[in-house]
Amino acid sequence: MKSHKPPTGFTITELVVTILIAGLLAAVAIPRFVGKDAFESRGFHDESLGVVRFAQKTAIAWRRQIFVCVTTIRVAAAAASGCAIPITHPATRGPLAANAPGGVTLPVPVEFRFDGAGRPLDGISGNPSGQITIPISSTIADDPARQIVVEAETGYVHP
């Protein structure tokens, strides 16, 4: 008696459907990964937020003033005015700063400081300041404007 074995392999229909699905995924997914500018913009916002938060926490931990310098392309934290003595980044051991990618700018250069209790002070006079808003602009398509806010009384830093 002969045993009948079913044929092995794929049918033409299965192969065509698989190729169509792979083509659709490539058409939808690849452009999202190629256009990474919006991701870099969001990463810069998050990193800048982290720099300002770390500056506030450092001021509280060290019980001394810590300065935050915002230029049109950078947010940095330091132990002296003008960001002359940068704070060390805990992970990279370089200066604690975030550099803007192409297409992203900080329209208003600003300098402020946190006192030993973590409250924001005016960068020049050292007087208590009101709420500080750091706007982040982008010329990247479909990338929204973002901001970093430092509350006046508490120094709470949030988007």
Give the mean pLDDT of 84-104: 91
CATH homologous superfamily of 37-158 equals: minor pseudopilin epsh domain (3.55.40.10)
C-beta separation of 37 from 64 below 8 A: no
40-82 tens-digit pLDDT: 888 999 999 999 999 999 999 999 999 999 999 999 999 998 8
Q: Which pairing describes strands 132-138 and 104-105: parallel, antiparallel, or unpaired?
A: antiparallel
Give the mean pLDDT of 87-104: 91
| Residue 31 pLDDT class (50, 70, 90 cuts) | low
Report domain extents, the chain.
Answer: 37-158
Which distant-in-sequence residues (6+ apart) come within 8 Å of 82 by Cβ? 67, 69, 111
